[in-house]
Every structure is written in C-alpha cells, then in structure tokens.
Amino acid sequence: MASINLIDAFQDFKDAENIDRPTMMKVVEDVFKTLLRKKYGTDENFDVIVNAEQGDLEIIHKREIRSDDDVDNPLAEIAYSEAIKIEPDFEIGEELLQEVNLEDFGRRAILAAKQTLASRIGDLKKNVLIKKYEDRIGEIVSAEIYQVWKKEVLCLDEEGNELILPKSEQIPTDYFKKGENIRAVVARVDVKNNNPVVILSRTSPMFLAKLLEIEVPEIFDGLIAIKKIVREPGERAKVAVESYDDRIDPVGACVGMKGSRIHGIVRELKNENIDIINFTNNIQLLIQRSLTPAKISFMNLDNDKKQADVYLKADQISLAIGRRGVNIKLASELTEYEIDVYREDEEQTAEFDYDLDEFADEIEQWIIDEFKRVGCDTAQSVLKLSDSELERRTDLEIETIEEVRRILTEEMEREEE
C-alpha cells in the first residue's frame, strides 16, 4: 500500500525546527517499533524508514526465502511458494523485502501511535525550550506583548514561545499594551505542571548590567568590570565599577559624554536614578562614595560588626537618607555595612541620648522600625528633626509622629532634671 501520512502529529514533527533531525528520526522509529512489538512480539525483522521531508514513513518486513518444508520462524522466513507469488524471479536464499500495510495494525493501534508520537514530540519541544532559555539566563531578550493580566504579562519571542513577565519583576511605573515590544532579562526557567515557564525580569540587577554592557563598549570588552549592582527598581540604582586600564575612567566611560550613554538606560528603566561609583577596597571611601550625592563630614567604623556611624551636616542628612530611605538602604546593600547617619554635632551629645528600642513599652515596634529605616535610631536623632521633615521621610502620620515626640521629650526632660 501507499505509505500512511501521520497528519497532525507528523506535521508537528516537521515543524519542530529546533529538534535535530537524528533525534526526530529516532523518536518516530521508537514509536513504531513499539507498535510492531505489540503486534508481532518482536521488531528484529522490521525496518522503519522515515521520510521527514514528506511527513510519512514505511515499515519494511525482511524475510529469508526458504524451501516450503524449511520454514521455522514465519517472522524471519518465508516459504518459496509464497515468495514467487509476490515476484516470480525470487530464488531460495534471497531476502524478501515487503512493505507492511499499516492498516493491518488496526485503527485503534494507529491512533494510539499517533498520540504517542505527538506526546513525544511535545516533550522534545519542551526540552528544547528549556535548554535554549537555560543557556540564555542573564541575557536580554526582546519580546512582543501578547496579553496583559493583573499579576503578569504574557509575551511571545520571535519563534512564538511564551515568556512570562510577573508583576513582581516589573518596574512599578511599567505600563504595557498588547502589541508593544519590550526588553527584559531572562531570570530563570521554571517547570509547572510538566510545562516549561520562562520567567523574565526588568527589576533584576542583571537587566541593568546587560544594558550597561550594551551601551558601554569598555564593559563588553572587559576593560571595565561591574563589581556590584543594587537597585530599588524605578527609584534608584547604585553600580560599583572598576577599570582594569589606568587610562580609562570607569565612571566617565559609563556615563558618557554629557550623559549620552547613561540616558538611554535611564529611559529604559523609567527614569530610575543611576549612581555610578568607582569601586575601591577602602571600605571607608566606598561608604563615602555609596552615599552620593551626600557629602560626609566623618565616620566611625566597626569592622567586626560591619557597622558605620556616619556624621554629616544638617543639610546633607536628607540627601544621604534619600526619598523613603532608598539612598541609605542601597548604600548599605552595596557596602554590606549597616550605616547609621547622624548630625555632625551629635557625637558630643551622644552620652545624653537613648536608643529608641528603650521605648518599646510605650512605642509600638513597627513605629520604631520605621524611624530606624530612615536613620533615626535614637531619641535625639528624632527630636532634632521637625515634624514635617519626619513626615516627609517616613510613612508615618503626623499624629503618630507628634505622639512619639511627646514621649521622647518627656523622657529627655526627666533625665535633665
């Protein structure tokens, strides 16, 4: 009979361009050899011939021609009288090759084979997708927005593979519309319900690192190294860089002439402020640079506890802390030191101060933690700032701030008495 076409299942097989030809041929061969074993108990005397271009296959049954009274195994041998009915010129000892009519297997068996083939090809496609994107973790990809949901965005790459950009991996000010093209970094590949899920990210430090590599040839060429990146996505980022060539200023190279190199990255990151810092092994100098744009007067370091007490002029404190405490938080992450900021004159009055934790019986812990987050971890550091300044820096309501100030003031007055 004419070779059977495997319709939809084989069409999937043909379209799976990323699966190498030998692997695809082996899959089809395995599926139909299993079919042969179920029907005949063995596949030893059968050849499965796959025509990947045409999308069809043939199964050839090989048997040796023997005399009529010398046939012991009908699967491996055929009687001479039967062979000459097929071709009169056959002689004893020759090999007879006969195409197997696949319809003889039965409709149910053929359907099961097609389903098995489709399943195996689906598994191969999944493995190819996993391998492709596991090798691309940390790389930037461009994808088209296909669907926007509340918790995630579904994107399609150039081959139609589905990529997921979760809400947690989006910059807070990101806004997407169907049909737009976006850039993101491949963060990881998850497997859910036996299906690969490629997760993208626009908040990962890897995304900023790759953007810098694209914009700054010296980074791509290895002349400048990115030592560390910390980010508060959409708000601020700090990048510590180091040059391996004394003739190259790493900060200037990354920023570019009149900010030409950094401006494109800032726009991509929705106006995220990017501080490029010259890396140094001198931790005191690194802390000073990491608190940019604030100017430090002096600091006390405890290297064992990885603690830094930084003293600044009054007008520099808000710059060091930054909006919602972001600047000091990122500086701590970059340097891996716990940084506390103080007014320059606080060192002289420190002996008359109280740690805020001493007021835990009167002030709720979450309120104390909020003051600490913006660098106010003592009574004096809170009282020396106005109500409006504290309201601006923290997420506390004015009534809460006034109550805290009342408690602290009364305690300080009792101490003076």
Query: Taking residues 99-109, what's their average pLDDT?
Result: 74
136-203: which CATH number, 2.40.50.140, 3.40.50.620, 2.40.100.10, 1.20.140.10?
Answer: 2.40.50.140
**Of 222 and 35, more confident:** 222
pLDDT given for residue 353 in this prediction? 66
Rounded CA-CA distance 143/181 in Å is 6
Query: Taking residues 385-405, what's their average pLDDT?
Result: 87
**Of 383 and 181, more confident:** 181
Give percent of the chain with pLDDT exceeding 70.
89
CA nearest to 321, candidates 303, 296, 357: 296
pLDDT given for residue 1 in this prediction? 33
Q: Is the pLDDT of residue 351 over 70?
A: no
* CA-based torsion, 281, 283, 289, 291: positive or negative: positive
Out of 21-30, 93-102, 386-395, give the one with best mean pLDDT: 386-395
Query: What is the strand order of the sheet 273-278 is part of?
Result: 224-232, 236-243, 273-278
Q: Is the pLDDT of residue 121 over 70?
A: yes
124-178 pLDDT tens trace: 778 878 888 888 999 999 999 999 999 999 999 988 888 999 999 999 999 999 9
CA nearest to 342, candidates 320, 363, 327, 323: 320
> How close are the terminal C-alpha atoms of the chain, in Å?
110
pLDDT given for residue 62 in this prediction? 84
Long-range contact set of residues 326-333: C-beta below 8 Å, sequence gap at least 24: 326/232, 326/235, 326/236, 327/236, 327/291, 327/294, 328/291, 328/374, 328/375, 329/232, 329/373, 330/230, 330/231, 330/232, 330/236, 330/237, 330/238, 330/290, 331/238, 331/287, 331/290, 331/291, 333/230
- Beta strand segments in 110-168, E: 140-148, 152-156, 162-166
Query: Looking at residue 138, what DSSP letter applies?
Result: T
Identify the weakest region by mean pLDDT among 2-11, 354-363, 395-404.
2-11
Query: Taking residues 13-40, what's their average pLDDT?
Result: 70
Q: Which stretches within 198-350 are classed as H helix?
A: 205-215, 217-220, 250-255, 260-268, 283-290, 314-321, 326-335, 346-349
Locus of tokens 């150039």: 158
**Of 11 and 60, more confident:** 60
Q: Does 7-132 carry CATH code 3.30.1480?
A: yes
Query: Taking residues 283-294, what's their average pLDDT?
Result: 91
Non-local CB neighbours of 63 within 8 Å, separated by 6+ positions: 45, 75, 76, 77, 78, 95, 96, 98
Are the C-beta atoms of residues 164 and 199 closer than 8 Å to each other? yes
pLDDT given for residue 12 in this prediction? 52
In degrees, to the nearest 5, what angle opens at C-alpha 203 toward C-alphas 198 and 206? 75
Q: Is the pLDDT of residue 198 over 90?
A: yes
At position 391, the amino acid (one-letter code) is: E
Non-local CB neighbours of 112 within 8 Å, separated by 6+ positions: 35
pLDDT bracket for residue 347 (50, 70, 90):
very low
Are the C-beta atoms of residues 284 and 301 closer than 8 Å to each other? yes
- Beta strand segments in 8-125, E: 46-51, 56-66, 77-79, 95-99
Query: Taking residues 180-192, what's their average pLDDT?
Result: 92
Query: Taking residues 343-361, what's their average pLDDT?
Result: 66
CA distances from residue 167 to 56, 65, 117, 162 in whole angstroms, order as listed: 45, 70, 37, 16
pLDDT given for residue 370 in this prediction? 87
236-275 pLDDT tens trace: 999 999 999 889 999 999 998 988 899 999 999 999 999 9
CA nearest to 225, candidates 256, 186, 253: 253
**Of 18 and 307, more confident:** 307
Q: Is the pLDDT of residue 2 over 50?
A: no
Query: Taking residues 73-95, what's their average pLDDT?
Result: 81
Task: List phi, psi (to 5°) of 239.
Answer: -125, 120
pLDDT given for residue 56 in this prediction? 66
At position 369, the amino acid (one-letter code) is: D
pLDDT given for residue 349 in this prediction? 42
Find the radius of gyration of the CA atoms of the chain.
36
Q: Is the pLDDT of residue 14 over 90?
A: no
58-82 pLDDT tens trace: 788 888 888 878 878 888 788 888 8
Are the C-beta atoms of residues 312 and 296 closer than 8 Å to each other? yes
**The tokens of 265 are what?**
């990255």
Please, what is the average pLDDT of the chain? Answer: 84
b vs e for 286-325, b when ≥16 Cβ sit within 10 Å of the residue's Cβ? Answer: bbbbbbbebebeebeeeeeeeebbbbbeeebbbbbbbebb
pLDDT given for residue 16 in this prediction? 52
Q: Are strands 46-51 and 236-243 parallel, antiparallel or unpaired?
A: unpaired
Q: Is the pLDDT of residue 228 over 60?
A: yes
191, β-bridge pairs:
196
Going from N- to C-terminal start, the domains of the chain cover 7-132, 136-203
